[in-house]
Amino acid sequence: MSIRVTVWGENVHEQHNEVVAGIYPRGMHTCIADGLNTHDKITASTATLQDPEHGMTQERLDQTDVLIWWGHAAHGDVDDAIVERVCDAVWGGMGIIFLHSAHFAKPFKRLMGAPCNLTWREAGERERLWVTSRNHPIAAGLPDYFELENEEMYGEPFGVPEPLETVFISWFQGGEVFRSGLTYKRGAGNIFYFRPGHETYPTYHNATVQQVLANGVKWAFNPAARIVNPNDAPNTAVENALEPITERGPRLHKDGEEGYR
């Protein structure tokens, strides 16, 4: 069966900026999905900020194996209830990939529990991405490095938790470096942050970038059944203990009563 991917795009710059519209006339989200759909065993569709419930209905998330998220100008417009719904899906086992400016997206900050801040410069400079983990599935089929002639600079320090793995490190013409490919695990969900993708440059038309995204989808996919309620915290009765025990002290809660949250 195919890995079901939903590419979520903010779809704001494409509507208001002629440069972005010229590069991505059908939206960045559509360009990304089109690239993924050239790969066997991946079926990609799109959703946008402007869709009802931002396209992130519970039904849609239940049918999404890997979610790709791109945002920049309208992070604050994403409804907090939708953010919790997305994070619940990740904790339950849905894979998620955050791209470029999505380091400030509400779901990313929620999952990281950190400021996710960085330094930046918009000058169209060359970015050289080095593979730091040659045998990592996300780097499959890639050379030791690849270059993007025009990109926005992101620089360290990057205010995120220590990752499980660093797959890419970038160097920019101005001298800065940045950890551009990071993996995390949150609950049962796999998370990949991939840095390139400034909207005024044709990054998502690049064949190597498209290969990274396809590799990332395959890595982030969790074939196990989704955890239905990853926030569940059941009260286990004394008589249900695996080994016999005797209740020896006072307690606040009755058997089966919900705990404080």
pLDDT digits (tens, 9 = 90+) for 151-168: 999 999 999 999 999 999
Q: Which helix (H) or strand (E) holds 4?
A: strand 3-9
Answer for the pair 64, 90: CB distance below 8 angstroms, yes or no. no
Burial class (CB in 10 A: 0-12, 13-18, 19+), 207: exposed
Distance of alpha carbon 238 from the chain centroid: 41
For residue 172, the model assigns a pLDDT of 98
Q: What is the DSSP string of 73-129?
A: TTGGGS-HHHHHHHHHHHHHT-EEEEEGGGGGSHHHHHHHTS----EEEEEEEEEEE
How many C-beta atoms surround the C-beta of residue 201 within 10 A?
21
How far, in Å, are 158, 174, 236 from residue 46 at the CA level? 29, 35, 42
Answer for the pair 230, 84: CB distance below 8 angstroms, yes or no. no
Strand partners, 6: 45, 67
Regions in the chain scoring below 50 on pLDDT: none
pTM (two decimals): 0.95
Report the C-alpha gap between 73 and 251 in whole angstroms.
Answer: 50
Q: What is the DSSP string of 159-205?
A: -SPPPSEEEEEEEETTS-EEEEEEEEEETTEEEEEE----TTS-GGG
Report the C-alpha gap between 248 and 145 in whole angstroms.
Answer: 63
Report the C-alpha gap between 156 and 67 in whole angstroms.
Answer: 26
CATH code linked to domain 3-220: 3.40.50.880
pLDDT per residue as tens digits for the range 47-88: 999 999 999 999 999 999 999 999 999 999 999 999 999 999
Report the C-alpha gap between 59 and 234 in whole angstroms.
Answer: 25
Report the C-alpha gap between 98 and 72 in whole angstroms.
Answer: 11
For residue 255, the model assigns a pLDDT of 86
